Each structure stands twice: as structure tokens, then as C-alpha cells.
Copies of this chain bind each other. A is one copy, B any other.
């Protein structure tokens, strides 16, 4: 796949891992900030998210509202610009707390303008202090990440024992990072600020 066509080719998109009825799967968390001129405000959540997943988004946002300035993120944008978090596919119901790290990463990517590494996927609940809490489905999620061409996976430190159940060839192929704090996820997953890569916007002029 052309790197420019990858979902994470623009800041604000992070790759998560989910367990579905049919095993594990990769999902993308997309975040956007409204142009201040447009008067957008507040937090908009779409993608048929369940209660627990909506709360994960609120936790991610509150973490950045209280700790973002320490991370040198321009948090004033959260005041003047509406935040929208969407999880395609639009018609598929989703729930659970394990997208917490992915939501936090998508928002931090958007605020910083630093893209998320295309080779990294992640899973983990986040608490309000940034702690990464354990989740389920580690084996299925790693298999799905590998199938999707991901090479680096972030998991909660407290899920390390679950790696015993993952086939050795998968573990060999993947670079698995157990973490205890979401700040570690950000340090690992965000590309450097000035990294030269695909231009931020696809070259599709609107003018007729």
C-alpha cells in the first residue's frame, strides 16, 4: 500500500486493536479539531460507541486538559476548537475501555501535528492520571496486528503474562512494548515533529 494512502498519513489518526466476534481486528481512531472560525465547540463522538467507550474518550480528553501543557501540547486549542472523535466503520457498534491509549494518542497527534507511526498499533485502558490498565484479548489482538502488517504493538504492562499464550512466530515478528503510563505510548508512537513524509493533505484540488 502506498504510504500516502495509509489511514495514519495525517495527524489525528491512531491504530487500535479490537476483539470482535470473528477474532481480533485493527481499528482506526480519528480525531479532528474544528477551525476556530467555524464556531465548533465541545466533544463530539461518533461511530456507534457504547457507554464505556464514550467514557474512554472523555477520560482521554480530560487527561490532556489537565496534563497536556506538561507535555508541551497547545491545549488552548481545546477551548477554541470543537473536538470530534470518530471510529469507523460508522454502522458497527463498538464498546469497551481498551481504546483509551489509542484515543489519547490520536488527540495528542492532532494537537501536536505529529503523525502516529504507521507501523504501530496499541491497546490499553487509560485512567485519569495516565496509568495504562490491563485489557482482554491480547492474543487475538496481536494476531490481528500481525495480519495487518503492523510491526510494533503497545500493550499494558499488566498484560505481560498474556504473552505466554501468543505463538512464538508472532512474538518474533512483532516488537511488543508493555507500558504502565500513557506518556510512554505517546513517546513511542508519535513521529518526530519535523519528520519529512507524505504531505498532510492529499493533492485533490476542489477547484473545477
A positions within 8 Å CB-CB of B: 5, 7, 10, 12-13, 28, 30-35, 37-40, 44, 46-48, 51-52, 55-56, 58-59, 62-73, 75-76, 78-80, 82, 84, 86, 88-91, 96-97, 100, 108, 114, 125, 127-131, 133, 180-181, 183-184, 186-187, 190-193, 201-202, 204-208
Contacts and interface: CB of A to CB of B under 8 A. Distances in A.
Contacts of A66: 32-35, 84
B180 A208 contact: no
- Copies assembled: 6
Contacts of A204: 181, 183-184, 187
- Closest 5 pairs between A and B when the two form their complex, measured CB to CB: A39-B79, A90-B97, A183-B204, A34-B65, A46-B55
Nearest to A185: B204
Given A48-B52, A79-B38, A84-B62, A208 B190 contact: yes
Contacts of A59: 46, 84, 86, 90
